[in-house]
Chains A and B, each alone.
Chain A
Amino acid sequence: MTRIYSALSLFKEGLTGQTGWKQAWRSPEPKASYDAIIIGGGGHGLATAYYLARNHGIARVAVLEKGWIGGGNTGRNTTVVRSNYYYPESVELYGLAHRLYEGLSKDLNYNVMLSQRGMVNLCHSTAEMEIGARTVNAMQINGIDAELFSPEDVRRVAPIYNFSSDARFPVFGGIWQGRAGTARHDAVAWGYARAASQLGVDIIQNCEITDFIIEGGRCRGVQTTRGAIRAERIGMAIAGHSSVLAAKAGFRLPINSYALQACVSEPVKPVLDTVVLSPGTGVYVSQSDKGEIVIGGGLDRIPSYAQRGNLPTLETVISGLLEMFPIFGQLKLMRQWAGIVDVVPDSSPIIGESPLPNLFLNCGWGTGGFKAIPAGGTLLANLLATGKHNDISRPFDLDRFASGRLIDEAAGSGIAH
């Protein structure tokens, strides 16, 4: 049986007809009880399970997923990994995720195809350049790599941008993060699933939570479509559906669920080897390894649980794309989809114990959960193992809404929420 992925394994398997590969993760029947249950088999849930087993030695863990792993927002994002945030709390959080991403393929023995091709947030006026300089300074002071780009620098990394003299959104410069890039989103889910499963975690798909088991005012487990499962601690990483389970647990969250859509074109020859974001159009663009142009924009404006986008938003995004890159005017769109994202008033995540004791939250990532997967997993695992915050997760507790200590990163994401 071949368990390790390597060039040598590939060569050896080649000699024996590729018959020795083992299933990447087990699909066991759920047990009656676990040390910890994680609701949600997306990137954050699977990463939580992996770090519980690896960092804390807790492997009697189940990940419960109502559909298939990585089928929610993990499979619906635009795969951008970056940490160009403004506030120190955010930098700690997204910086941790970014550093873990850089070692992830090796950690998991699974190629997540991290491609650090850099990302430029454009500035379209002198005023935006001043704000850009402030952002770059803040990032540098907080220890994140950042550079203020001149128009010539932008032209060097994105020569196909619309630099014509009558461009609606002219380039005055940009904010560059060279370590930013993209990763293969499915591979992140599958890599964490495989590594967690090898450490003893049970990954249980097609298992929907129907209710919580509450005894003595504490959460003691969950009722599922595959029976009751009890646990000492329960974590929840279900993005846009957090409010739905919170209602079952008897509390409300500061979340509105919206559809965030994205689309890809037909594959074309390499034309764009970086990620370009324009705050003027609200559109960001990269080119996948297969050659597709991957296009993302702002939220749909209507609260929704429908995993598809509305046409007016798509029209806005495509208009913005063509302002930025007239060269894409002949491109054919191949696919368009949406995920349901959990939007919080300050555009920062919620990590911490819920109002129902023993139930812990990892939610509120809004439009930016994918880049944070390794940090979300590390921090929820720490909470489930110790019951306590560490310095990185503490500022993101739910109590910030009563205390007023919001971490307003609406600008950090580069597009208006």
Chain B
Amino acid sequence: MQLFPCPFCGPRDETEFHYGGDAGNARPDGGDVPIDRWAGYLYLRSNPKGAAREIWVHMNCGEFFVMERDTLTHTVLSSAELGGEHAA
């Protein structure tokens, strides 16, 4: 069992967390968004091998946060509250 660091609750079992997609995948704004931009937002993923910046949710406290992680070694590099890019 791996421990993931919730910025609010500290280290907790991996089973308490749910993956929420790429960090920085901002929702297109306004009514005149080209279809490819919508499809990109909804479906396209970076899916990197190695260092990744991801949104996770700690299901117990319900808070979303950003976790930096290595997808090959599963090493957690950092975890932090959501920053400005997702505040909107």
Contacts and interface: CB of A to CB of B under 8 A. Distances in A.
Interface of A: 241, 243-244, 247, 252-257, 301-306, 310-312, 345, 401-402
B2 interface: yes
A247 B40 CA distance: 14
* Max count, chain A CB within 10 A of own CB: residue among B35, B45, B54: B45
Given A304-B74, A306-B73, A312-B13, 19 more contacts: A243-B49, A247-B48, A252-B44, A252-B45, A252-B46, A253-B45, A254-B43, A255-B45, A255-B47, A257-B71, A301-B15, A301-B19, A302-B14, A305-B71, A306-B74, A312-B15, A401-B39, A402-B38, A402-B39
A302 B13 CA distance: 12
B72 A303 contact: no
A303 B71 contact: yes
Interface of B: 1-2, 13-15, 18-19, 35-36, 38-40, 42-50, 52, 54, 71-74
B45 A256 contact: yes
Contact of B74 (A302, A401, A402): A302
17 contacts: A247-B46, A252-B44, A253-B44, A254-B43, A255-B45, A255-B47, A256-B47, A257-B47, A302-B14, A305-B71, A305-B72, A306-B73, A306-B74, A312-B13, A401-B39, A401-B43, A401-B44
A198 to B, nearest CB: 35
* Max count, chain B CB within 10 A of own CB: residue among A255, A302, A401: A302
Contacts of B52: 303
Contacts of A257: 47, 49, 71
Which 4 A-B residue pairings sit nearest by Cβ, starting from the closest? A243-B47, A254-B43, A402-B39, A252-B44
Given A305-B72, A306-B74, A243 B14 contact: no
Main secondary structure of the interface of A (DSSP, over half): mixed
Contacts of A241: 49
A77 to B, nearest CB: 21
Nearest to A399: B39
A303 B2 CA distance: 14
B49 A345 contact: no
Given A304-B71, A306-B72, A402 B36 contact: yes
B51 to A, nearest CB: 11
A243 B39 contact: no
Contacts of A310: 1-2, 14
B48 to A, nearest CB: 7
Contacts of A255: 45, 47
Contacts of B1: 310-312
A106 to B, nearest CB: 39
A345 B73 contact: no
A244 B43 contact: no
A401 B43 CA distance: 7
B35 A402 contact: yes
Contacts of B14: 301-302, 310, 312
Nearest to B15: A312
Contacts of B19: 301-303
A310 B15 CA distance: 10
B18 A301 contact: yes
Contacts of A303: 19, 47, 52, 54, 71
Contacts of A345: 43
Nearest to B39: A402
A353 to B, nearest CB: 16
Contacts of B13: 312
B18 A254 contact: no
Contacts of B43: 254, 345, 401
A399 B72 CA distance: 30
Contacts of B72: 304-306
A255 B48 CA distance: 10
A401 B45 contact: no
A312 B71 CA distance: 17
